[in-house]
Chains A and B, each alone.
Chain A
Amino acid sequence: MTAAIVTERLTKSYGKNRGVVDLDLEIAAGEVFGFLGPNGAGKTTTIRVLLDLIRPTSGRVTVLGLDSRRQSLAVRRRVGFLPGELSLYSHLTGEETLRFFANLRGGVDWQYVGGLVEQLDFDLTKKVSDLSTGNKRKLGLIQAFMHRPELLILDEPTVGLDPLVQHEFHHFIAEARDRGQTVFLSSHVLPEVQRVCDRVGFIREGEMVAVEEVSALTGRAVRELDVVFAQPVSPDVFAHVPGVTAVSANGGGLHLTVAGPLDATVKKLAEFEVVTMTSREPDLEDVFFHFYSGRDRAS
């Protein structure tokens, strides 16, 4: 089976900005691939090269087995795209927007579009200027899906959406996978990628840092715990608990960084009187640090 996306030593440099550097990427047909990195890491740049909106400085890119530059029209026929900074024509209604885009493609099955509209509970009669951010994004999602493309390129599809709509989007993407569509989605939040993707590529400052199976990641997830005890507890108690990578006193309690399963930590905590405990996902930089700092030292 042809790979959905292949980039070989893709480099795009802008005057001062870095863009992307020697990016190698291979995405198999039928998988949901998460392209993860902080803002400005080069995710959108890569996506825009795939669609021939910008031209690489060097390197080769094929999409669905076609050259992204010479055969761009053929590529774009088979791809659906949701831009990160989605702008639509504010004076058109939802229906007019979809009719226009459907006409540009030709051969769109309007019944299928109706199904998508129904599934997302979208109101076609409103003008785009009257839509909320979430509903605009739904309209963007429908136009990306409406011709049943083999490959979906979704640039930060859920950023800024409320959790309920995020959940709908994730469900939508999962269904696309079940139908055999390939999904390439960028994100700057790890939990989202963990929820919907099969594999994840980490990009930072224009360079691909690592590509991992999501299943392998979950076992090594890193969490930050803030625990407040009834009586003071010394940080030393937790220093040698398996999984704890850092511990420090934090006001009346402790701040713990735990990699992998929480079991040993929870059992140790149970020996004391715990008043409150909060857990949060670390930001991406922390994830990079915990996943790859050790590896760098080893190599």
Chain B
Amino acid sequence: MLRDAFFKGVRDLRRSFLYWAVGIAFMVILFCLFYPTVRDSAASVQKLIDSLPAAFKNVFIGQGVSFTSPKGYIDGRILSFMSPLLFLVFAVGLGARQIAGEEEAGTLSLLLSYPMSRRRLLAQKAAVLVVAIAALTVAHFGALVIGVTLEHMNPGYGALLGANVDLFLLALSLGTLSLTVGAATGRHGAAVGVSTIVAAAAYLVNALAPLSHTLKPLQKLSLFYYYGGAQPLSIGVRPVYAGLLLAVTAVLAAVAFLAFERRDVRV
């Protein structure tokens, strides 16, 4: 299990990953179990939602979807806000730990005194990030399948899988941003800070753009726009957008390799 930096990285994650996976699965299933209550009082729930200020509704529930339909409920309750939030915390924290965390802990110097190029180390660290987010997505998807099956929500398993792939790509892009800032600066705080600000701004711009002429043109710069506009199940996955998220990740990763290769490692 300690064969190289990748296997060690995966091994280091064992316990905390279990907590994350169980916690997220629990949340997803719980929300699904709550659906019949909403469905059975659809009219009054919809009325309540319609009475909310538009900005509030867009940020916390989703944009103009029918909250009481199965797809709308899963989007509004799970996929548009809660899941991305939890995935981002996980991915950004993990991304920052890979290089910057190790550097601030003081172990990076010793690691790089071994015959291992920085490129190889970074590749192994990035692989840890990809595998961990993918595994968390599998847990998330599995919980959704259980939840919708229990409550006979039938949103279509293909659409559900597509939404999860999108969630994976979104989390991967922001986790990679965190990894890249960390690899370029060696500072854990900067990596978490920058990525969190970018994520929050992207979310808000996407949510509020339909209400504001000023923000409207910025919506296409938001990563969430390419995550099915934060309603991946209702709007559906578009391969072009998924490809775009992947391209952003690839560019960020390339920057990480270039910057990490050139700079001085801190004591």
Contact = CB atoms under 8 A, between A and B. Distances in A.
A269 interface: no
B12 interface: yes
A225 interface: no
Interface string B1-27: 011110010001000000000000000
B156 interface: no
Given A81-B113, A85-B106, A86-B110, A54 B8 contact: no
Contacts of B111: 104
Contacts, number: 65
Q: Do most interface residues of chain B lie in helix, strand or loop, or is the interface mixed?
A: loop
A67 interface: no
B2 A103 contact: yes
Contact of B113 (A79, A85, A87): A79
A46 to B, nearest CB: 13
A241 B265 CA distance: 53
Contact of B264 (A55, A87, A89, A103): A55
Contacts of B211: none
A205 interface: no
Interface in B86-124: 105-107, 109-117
Contacts of A81: 110, 113
Nearest to B104: A87
A92 B8 CA distance: 10
B113 to A, nearest CB: 4
Given A53-B265, A54-B265, A86-B110, A96 B115 contact: no
A100 B8 contact: yes
A89 B106 CA distance: 10
B115 A85 contact: no
A290 B113 CA distance: 37
B2 A100 contact: yes
A140 B106 CA distance: 13
A87 B105 contact: yes
B172 to A, nearest CB: 26
A240 to B, nearest CB: 49
B267 interface: yes
Nearest to B114: A104
A48 interface: yes
A202 B23 CA distance: 58
A75 B264 CA distance: 18
B2 A44 contact: no
Interface in A33-79: 44, 48, 51-55, 73-74, 76-77, 79
A175 B267 CA distance: 29
Contacts of A77: 115
Contacts of B265: 48, 53-54
B264 A54 contact: yes
Contact of A105 (B107, B114, B264): B114
A48 B107 CA distance: 14
A103 B3 contact: yes
Given A53-B264, A53-B265, A103-B3, A89 B117 contact: no
Contacts of B4: 103-104
A48 B115 contact: no
A85 B2 contact: no
Contacts of A100: 2, 8
A99 interface: yes
Nearest to A76: B115
Nearest to A87: B106
A76 B2 CA distance: 20
A131 to B, nearest CB: 15
Interface string A77-119: 1010101011111011000100111011100000000000000
A76 B106 contact: no
A48 B112 CA distance: 10
Contacts of B3: 103
Contacts of A104: 4-5, 111, 114-116
A54 B109 CA distance: 10
B243 to A, nearest CB: 35
Residue among B106, B111, B112, B267 with the most chain A CB within 10 A?
B267
Contact of A83 (B109, B114, B117): B109
A53 B114 CA distance: 11
Given A89-B107, A100-B2, A104-B4, A51 B113 contact: yes
A51 B111 CA distance: 11
A122 B264 CA distance: 34
A140 B115 CA distance: 17
B147 to A, nearest CB: 35
A-B pairs, 9 with minimum CB distance: A87-B106, A54-B264, A81-B113, A100-B2, A77-B115, A104-B114, A53-B265, A76-B115, A87-B107
16 contacts: A48-B109, A48-B265, A53-B112, A53-B265, A54-B264, A73-B117, A76-B116, A81-B110, A83-B106, A85-B106, A85-B267, A86-B110, A100-B8, A103-B4, A104-B115, A105-B114
Interface of B: 2-5, 8, 12, 105-107, 109-117, 262, 264-265, 267
Given A73-B117, A91-B12, A105-B114, 11 more contacts: A48-B109, A48-B264, A51-B109, A51-B113, A53-B264, A55-B264, A73-B116, A74-B115, A88-B107, A100-B8, A104-B114
